[in-house]
Amino acid sequence: MSTIMMVRHGQASFGEKNYDRLSRRGREQSRVLAEYMIRIGLSFDAVYAGDMVRQKDTAHEILAIYRLQDRNLPELKVLSEFNEYSSRDIIMAHIHDAAGEDPDLKADLKYIYDDKKAFQRVFEKIMMRWISGEADKPGVVRWQDFCGRVRTGLCKVMGDNGRGKTILICTSGGPISAAVQTALELSDEKALRIAWQIVNTSMTSFVYNDERMALTSFNNASHLALLNDPAWVTYR
């Protein structure tokens, strides 16, 4: 059996003009993760990331720590199949209709990119509307197509690496939840809901062979728990 470890990117820059870059805390989380992985003896035969900045930078921070400790890993490979969906595009496409269906959303709209709780309320309601497939919008990826893209990426990774390999993929909550959905045959709603629980730089692992992929651990953030400070545990 081979192993795939999917790592969610470090904390991104929530509330800033460019969300798609690691915050200072996000870079620190990535380094702490790398140090933890070295300490428990993890090495990787291949390292992948999506081509979003926060995903690639998480991988680069990990690779840098391994190099500092003379434990070189293979060069990073980038696969856009592991990119996150654009929650902003989905929100903007659905917000008018969703607000008409639920007037309570209007009170939160002014604050969705400044107030994390307001964002989460709006986000959850609109995302559930999105995955239903009953209100598809032109130019906005469908949830089912997004999951299909992630599965294509996983198939590429599994096909390019032989048996007994351990593979690292730095990605985002959406692709991780899509992979978990595939492994556990979850409903779309359950898959989306677990995405909201995924901690920055947490580890989700699978084993696979020619026939199947099985989940072995989910949302493991032991490296952050060991710091004994809840400020390290973030979700953006």
- List average pLDDT for each run of 10 residues in the chain, which is 236 residues long: 96 79 96 98 97 97 96 96 91 80 73 76 85 81 95 95 94 97 95 94 94 94 97 94
Taking the C-alpha atoms of residue 194 and residue 177, their distance in angstroms, rounded to an integer, is 6
> For 22-33, what is each residue's pLDDT tens digit?
999 999 999 999
The dihedral through the CA atoms of 65, 68, 71, 76 has a sign that is: positive
Q: What is the pTM of this model?
A: 0.92
What single-letter amino acid sits at 100? G
Domain 2-84+165-232, CATH class in plain words: alpha beta
Helix, strand or coil for residue 66? helix
pLDDT digit string, tens, across residues 21-73: 999 999 999 999 999 999 999 999 999 999 999 999 999 999 999 999 999 89
So what's the pLDDT on residue 15? 67
CB 22 within 8 A of CB 30: yes
What is the reported pLDDT for 99? 74
Question: Strand pairing partners for 223?
Answer: none
Provide the residue ranges of all domains of the chain, joining segments of one domain with +.
2-84+165-232, 87-131
Looking at residue 117, what is its pLDDT? 81
